[in-house]
Amino acid sequence: MTDRAWFDAAKGDIPQWAASMPKDADGTTIDWDWVRSLDLAHGVGTIPESTPQSIHDALKADYATREHLESIIAQCNSTFMTDYDRFIGSYRLPRALAYANRRLNDNINTLLHLGEQQHLWAVSRERRGRATIAVLKPYSGSRPSNDDQGMLNLSGETGDASAGNTAAENSDVKFPTTVALDDIQDRTAAILDARAERRKAQRFQKRAGDAAMARANLSGATSPGGAASSGNATGHHPKPDWRDAYLPGRDVDAVMGIDIETTGIDPARDYIIDVGFEFMNMASPRPAGEPETYAYEQGYYAAGDAYGQSRLAFGVPPENAALGNALIAKLTGIDVRGRSSEAGYRLFDEWPQAQAGLLARLTQQPYVAHNATFEHSWFMLNVAGYAESYRAGRITIIDTLPMSRQWDPGAVPTNEHPYGDNTLDAYAKRQGALDSAHNERHLGLEDSHIMLVAMKHHLAALKAQRKGPWGPAGRAGVGGKSCGRKR
């Protein structure tokens, strides 16, 4: 049972947020009284009667609530990080909103399944722009296409995903009544696309303003960005981008590699179900006294220089477990139907001790991840104190993805991979950390291990070649991205 007191404390921060963030990510004025009225701890979703119109109305209301919540959550990061006067002291309100939004999203998916069971619609999961959304189509008696979800019957028991039957086929309840579908379609993709277009227009406007200022000051010839980036280890010289801030420096040594597995890609909708981390020194010897061996799932993995390995398993709410997640089960081998909190699994966002333990490790030394912005975004909305520690400069992040992009000769652009193949699987194989006959496992600890082994091999090669951190554009120090450290 989670401690609910922190939700009240989070609401106590609303005056601070209201003063600093009057509008959400879509430019809409935030109704902070509405936020204050939400029962974040016990749920903000609508539980309907089992009638067609009630299910329709509940889904419509839940979609509207989710849109409001997510537009607020999306704006919180930039507001918090640019609060240079530190008027906002804590990030617990966005974490509380995300906690409620995850349960709301489970409720939405339950309603979608319930509508399928009652033959009100068929659901297909389709990629639209920046998001995969649930598209509702009139029920025609054919099997709905919904490969990434499990089944839910009216009793709330989990279905048999291997049986090949849909919830609609299994249900004995049939409602010939039709309901309107146009007003209950998922608008996530359209919202994200519009948001991206606004950001693009803002960046264009800023660049135009900077260019005009440079011309007025006769400084265009020496304006920032004029010098070409050099010092990478490749022949194709990829253009520098924002990820380069996460590159290591030539003095990097002790690091913690970490990888998380989740039920989806959105930290405001999905759950952390697996965390794996271990430590490795990139330059100095492995600490004496650490255990010499560790058993990974793959018998062909050798611990080598790694130490302090840990694997943590977490659960999901009963509503999420009942729905199932065939895609994640196929990718990771983790079937969330067996990870319900009712089965004894603790939820990460309800386990303050687990969050505190992870935060302590994340602040002890730089942490390394492949595509680290993914882990960072999840930690922001799941780990108590992480956002505050990051803003204060107590967390340093190193990313092996830009190492692959910028410094790996094998990451050449192709038609299939315009920026080179920079998946962890490809990077680890090129750096000799993963046998070509095997693939990335998609489990936290195993993926952390091959990432650190690849990083160590890669840095050793770059040092011998006087490239990467040791090249003309390399930098001294640990490197990586860290806020709040001005030199």
Phi, psi (degrees; rounded to nearest 5) at 309: -70, 145
Global confidence as pTM: 0.87
Residue whose C-alpha is closest to residue 458's, from 416, 399, 413, 418: 399
Residue 149 tokens read as: 């979800």
The one-letter code for the residue type at 76 is C
Say whether pLDDT at 152 is over 50: no
Q: What single-letter DSSP state applies at residue 220?
A: G
Q: What percent of the chain has pLDDT over 90?
A: 70
Question: Under the phi-then-psi rule, with left for phi > 0, alpha for psi from -120 to 50, and beta for the rest, what region is 133?
Answer: beta
**Cα separations in angstroms, 126 against 5, 113, 221, 374:** 39, 16, 48, 22
CA angle at 20 for the pair 19 and 21, rounded to the nearest 5°: 100
The 10s digit of each residue's pLDDT in 438-449 is 878 889 999 999
Residue whose C-alpha is closest to residue 111's, from 65, 50, 68: 50
Give dist(CA 321, CA 453) in Å, integer: 35
What one-character-per-residue DSSP string does 343-370 give? GTPPPGGG-HHHHHHHHHHHTTS-EEET
Given CA atoms 330, 333, 334, 338 in this order, what sign does their dihedral have?
A: positive
Give dist(CA 363, CA 66) in Å, integer: 33
Q: Of the given ranges (120-134, 146-160, 315-329, 464-478), which has the lowest mean pLDDT?
A: 146-160
- Does residue 307 sit in helix, strand or coil? strand
The one-letter code for the residue type at 229 is S
Say whether pLDDT at 260 is over 70: yes
80 in Cβ contact with 91 (< 8 Å): yes
Q: What single-letter DSSP state applies at residue 285?
A: P
The 10s digit of each residue's pLDDT in 383-397 is 999 999 999 999 999
Say whether pLDDT at 375 is over 80: yes
What one-character-per-residue DSSP string does 50-79 give? SSHHHHHHHHHHHHHHHHHHHHHHHHHHHH
Q: What pLDDT does 485 receive?
A: 53
The 10s digit of each residue's pLDDT in 157-182 is 333 433 333 343 444 444 456 899 99
Give dist(CA 240, CA 328) in Å, integer: 33
The one-letter code for the residue type at 453 is V
The 10s digit of each residue's pLDDT in 47-92 is 888 899 999 999 999 999 999 999 999 999 999 999 999 999 999 9
Give dist(CA 301, CA 299) in Å, integer: 6
Phi, psi (degrees; rounded to nearest 5) at 311: -130, 125
Residue whose C-alpha is closest to residue 71's, from 187, 186, 191: 191
What residues does 254 pair with on adjacent strands?
Answer: 281
Q: What pLDDT does 161 receive?
A: 37
Residue 200 tokens read as: 């693009």
- State the CB neighbour count (10 A cutoff) for residue 436: 7
Say whether pLDDT at 346 is over 90: yes
Residue 4 tokens read as: 């609910």
Which residue reads 């030199």 in tokens?
487
Q: How far is CA 400 from the centre of its chain?
A: 16
Q: What single-letter DSSP state applies at residue 338?
A: G
In total, the chain counts a number of residues equal to 487
Q: What pLDDT does 258 receive?
A: 98
CA angle at 402 for the pair 472 and 270, rounded to the nearest 5°: 155
Give dist(CA 441, CA 445) in Å, integer: 9
Give dist(CA 31, CA 74) in Å, integer: 15
